[in-house]
Amino acid sequence: MLQNYLKIALRNLQKNRLFSALNIVGMGTGMAAVGLMSLYIANELSYDRFHANADRIVRVVQFASWPGGDLKLAPTSAPFAGALKNDYPEVEKTVRIYPEGGGLITYKDKKIQADDIFFTDKTVFDVFTLPFLFGNPASLARPESIVLTKTLAEKLFGDAARAMGQPVEFSNHFVNTVTGVIDDIPGNSHLQFSALRSLPANFTGDWQNSELYTYLLLAKGSDYKALEAKLPGFYAKYLKKEMGNLTYRMALQPLPSIHLHSHLDYEISANGDATTVSIFAIIAGLVLFIAGINYVNLYTARSITRTREVGVRKAIGSRRGQLVGQFM
């Protein structure tokens, strides 16, 4: 029976080539467009969710306003992390990131320009999921150490395994020792870098110099909104004298929301936009709906021309299910 249905289908395709082409191309184009838009939407919604503790990581940001202006700052100053860790038991770990660690890297006679290098605390591997190929999460504990991504290690040394323990020199004649190699950073991360360097100890205690990005790993069961509600006390204790008559507040951003929902001054990377994702989702739904309506209309118009065929098949005893199967 199935073989008979296939023969009938092939004959109808050959007999009605224009109709078949319109039907197949219309539905196929619609499905392809919906598929591509769905991939884009899925990628945008997946940002930073690969971290094992993504639901417990938040970024500290600042909002300040005064007569005639305002600032919405993604970075904070160096002392924020330590003070937050000391004052609030909800904060399990902190990590600071300073994105100005790149430059010309030299190893023997090989030189590579790598501007996407971060200075960071050794706790970066406790907060974020960054799998090691060589080395371990203590790799940045030593001063003047550097952890390379796999791609940069291979560019410099040919084989990532040969990178361990080797000195690399930056353009300011500052030498770092390679203490680890990690997997390349996934594309769906708002933190994109080729290497991590140990944060120098000479970052000052200046509360007004906002140049580092501060992330917190909250204790299990902690509510970031509850912690955020306590931050006016942090401002009163540490910042009020520094800020003068500014209107000021701090906020916490859940890690997975940063890419689509954060559009502050001095973002660490270019972010996406939730509105754009919503528009693509609506367009995908409309394209699928229109393609489906078009398919049904063409199919219905063609079915009318096969009324006599249906009558003949009924007369020779075809059941309803067989007739439906023939048209499917």
Q: Would you say the C-alpha torsion 67, 69, 72, 78 has a positive or negative sign? A: negative
> Three-state SS for 261?
helix
- The closest of 113, 112, 169 to 146, measured between CA atoms, is 169
> Three-state SS for 215?
strand
Identity of the residue numbered 192: Q
pTM, to two decimals: 0.85
Could you give the CA distance from residue 298 to residue 303 in angstroms, rounded to a whole number?
9
Q: Is 315 left (phi over 0), alpha (psi -120 to 50) or beta?
A: alpha
Q: In tens digits, what is the pLDDT along the chain, a chain of 328 residues?
A: 556 555 655 666 566 566 666 667 777 888 899 999 999 999 999 999 999 999 999 999 999 999 889 999 999 999 999 999 999 999 999 999 999 888 999 999 899 999 999 999 999 999 999 999 999 999 999 999 999 999 999 999 999 999 999 999 998 789 999 999 999 999 999 999 999 999 988 776 788 889 999 999 999 999 999 999 999 999 999 998 877 788 999 999 999 999 999 999 999 999 999 999 999 999 999 998 888 887 776 666 566 555 655 555 555 555 555 545 555 5
Identity of the residue numbered 161: A
- The count of other CB atoms within 10 Å of the CB of residue 24 is 12
Q: What is the pLDDT, as a whole number, of residue 240?
A: 87
